[in-house]
């Protein structure tokens, strides 16, 4: 099976943003909570761009699986970014 570079890079970015949002929410890396204030908004923006890009993919299964997640991720990340108290 051929691995495509863009989905692999996107998965790595999403994993990094998930760690940042978890830190911002106080769920992980407690010493870094205030450091990730601006980076959390970067994750929100990246997820929002994904909401626009995902429907354009030619793969029907990929759209069906990822579009619901793609719609939830920026909303949940923004909620954390707005509500988490800066360290």
pLDDT tens for each residue of the chain, 87 residues long: 556 787 788 889 989 999 998 888 888 888 888 788 888 898 899 888 888 888 887 888 888 888 888 888 889 889 988 886 554
The DSSP string of the chain is -PPPHHHHHHHHHHHHHHHHHHHHTTSS-GGGTGGGHHHHHHHHHHHHHHHHHGGG-S-HHHHHHHHHHHHHHHHHHHHHHHHSPP-
pTM listed for this prediction: 0.74
Q: Determine contact, residues 34/64, Cβ cutoff 8 Å.
A: no
């Amino acid at each position: 099976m051929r691995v495509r570079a863009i989905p692999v890079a996107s998965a790595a970015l999403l994993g990094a943003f998930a760690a940042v949002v978890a830190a911002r929410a106080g769920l992980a890396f407690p010493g870094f909570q205030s450091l990730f204030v601006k980076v959390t908004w970067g994750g929100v923006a990246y997820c929002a761009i994904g909401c626009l890009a995902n429907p354009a993919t030619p793969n029907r299964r990929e759209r069906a699986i990822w579009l619901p997640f793609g719609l939830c991720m920026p909303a949940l990340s923004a909620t954390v970014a707005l509500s988490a108290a800066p360290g």
